[in-house]
């Protein structure tokens, strides 16, 4: 008899199974239930097993390609519950943070007065933020909506964290190349406690060359960790009302020191 041999899966195919499964969970409505009890638009209900699967799969995908924004977003949402609770308490205990939780502002092109920001003097926070967007060819509209956080208020805090990310680049004076992104992740890890930020802070240096590693470990890294730990909660600042404030004054108010050096803005990429 002719017996068919069982074909072995190619390693390339096996490697992508987890990523494909996570993608299906992330995009398909067949396996999961959307927006139960009107929690918030786009919410996807997941149980503990599904969250664990999403966390592992998205983590593997993000390791293979740190620029997979969708996988980084899933990893943050499925591992950040305790950190988000802590951030909520910090915001509620801050008058400005409490106002943000009450009013729920969004940082989008539709909410920004770009003409007014362009007319602000050099050195103002709004003008420098607009300069950052223009020079790096980025937009606040690129941030993904939250899907897997099972609490409406915590989901907003995760969304606020994402929309504040580019503002942190401006506050910290960091470009969007790999060294700048890693420095921001070190700051965010110390400031927020989000596991996703810690993972990025640990694994990001693996993609740096020797000279940039030296800059990170001897200068930018210690500065980012120190300032992240001691700074006021960066999610408790109503940035939309601070555009006219000078960048220098805002840093001083937040207890953030200017960077010891500014990395070259070459090889810009978003994370």
- Residues 101-107, mean pLDDT to the nearest whole number: 95
Check the annotation: does 12 bind a ligand.
no
For residues 228 and 15, the model is more confident at: 228
In the predicted structure, residue 226 carries a pLDDT above the cut 60: yes
Least confident of 54-58, 59-63, 71-75, 244-248: 59-63
For residues 8 and 182, the model is more confident at: 182
What is residue 6's predicted lDDT score, i.e. its pLDDT?
A: 42
Q: Burial, 30: exposed, middle or buried (Cβ in 10 Å; 0-12, 13-18, 19+)?
A: exposed
Check the annotation: does 163 bind a ligand.
no
Alpha carbons within 13 A on the beta-carbon side of 91: 27
Tens digits of residue pLDDT in 37-49: 558 888 888 888 8
At 40, list the tokens: 């918030």
In three-state form (DSSP H/G/I as H, E/B as E, the rest C), the secondary structure along the chain is CCCCCCCCCCHHHHHHHHHHHHHHHHHCCCCCEECHHHCCCCCEECCHHHHHHHHHHHHHHHHHCCCCHHHHHHHHHHHCHHHHHHHHHHHHCCHHHHHHHHHCCCCCHHHCCHHHHHHCCCCEHHHHHHHHHHHHCCCHHHCCCCCCCCCHHHHHHHHHHHHHHHHHHHHHCCCCCHHHHHHHHHHHHHHHCCHHHHHHHHHHHHHCCHHHHHHHHHHHHHHHHHHHHHCCCHHHCCHHHCCCCEHHHHHHHHCCCCCCCCCCCCCCCCC
Tens digits of residue pLDDT in 126-155: 999 999 999 988 898 888 889 999 999 999
Check the annotation: does 43 bind a ligand.
no
What is residue 34's predicted lDDT score, i.e. its pLDDT?
A: 33
What is residue 195's predicted lDDT score, i.e. its pLDDT?
A: 93
What is residue 39's predicted lDDT score, i.e. its pLDDT?
A: 83
In the predicted structure, residue 206 carries a pLDDT above the cut 70: yes
- Nearest Cα to Cα of residue 136 among 186, 173, 111: 173
For residues 20 and 251, the model is more confident at: 251
Check the annotation: does 23 bind a ligand.
no
């Amino acid at each position: 008899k002719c017996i068919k041999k069982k074909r072995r899966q190619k390693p390339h195919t096996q490697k992508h199974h987890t990523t494909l499964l996570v993608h299906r969970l992330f995009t398909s409505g067949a396996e999961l239930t959307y927006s139960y009890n009107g929690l918030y638009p786009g919410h996807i209900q997941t149980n503990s097993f599904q969250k664990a699967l999403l966390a592992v799969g998205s983590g593997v995908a993000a390791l293979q390609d740190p620029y997979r924004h969708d996988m980084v977003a899933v990893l943050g949402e499925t591992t950040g519950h305790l950190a988000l609770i802590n951030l909520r308490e910090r915001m509620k205990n801050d008058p400005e943070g409490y106002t943000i939780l009450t009013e729920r502002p969004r940082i989008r092109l539709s909410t920004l007065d770009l003409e007014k920001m362009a007319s602000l003097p050099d050195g103002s926070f709004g003008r420098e933020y607009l300069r950052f967007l223009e020079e790096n060819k980025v937009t606040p509209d690129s941030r993904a909506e939250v899907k897997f956080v099972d609490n409406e208020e915590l989901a907003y805090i995760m969304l606020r964290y994402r929309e504040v990310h580019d503002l942190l680049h401006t506050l910290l004076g960091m470009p969007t190349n790999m060294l700048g992104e890693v420095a921001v992740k070190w700051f965010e890890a110390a400031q927020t406690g989000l596991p996703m930020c810690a993972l990025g802070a640990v694994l990001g240096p693996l993609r740096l060359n020797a000279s940039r590693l030296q800059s990170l470990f001897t200068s930018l890294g210690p500065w980012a960790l120190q300032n992240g730990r001691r700074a006021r909660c960066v999610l408790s600042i109503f940035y939309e009302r601070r555009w006219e404030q000078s960048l220098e004054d805002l840093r001083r108010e937040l207890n953030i020191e200017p960077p010891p050096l500014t990395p070259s803005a070459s090889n810009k990429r978003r994370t």
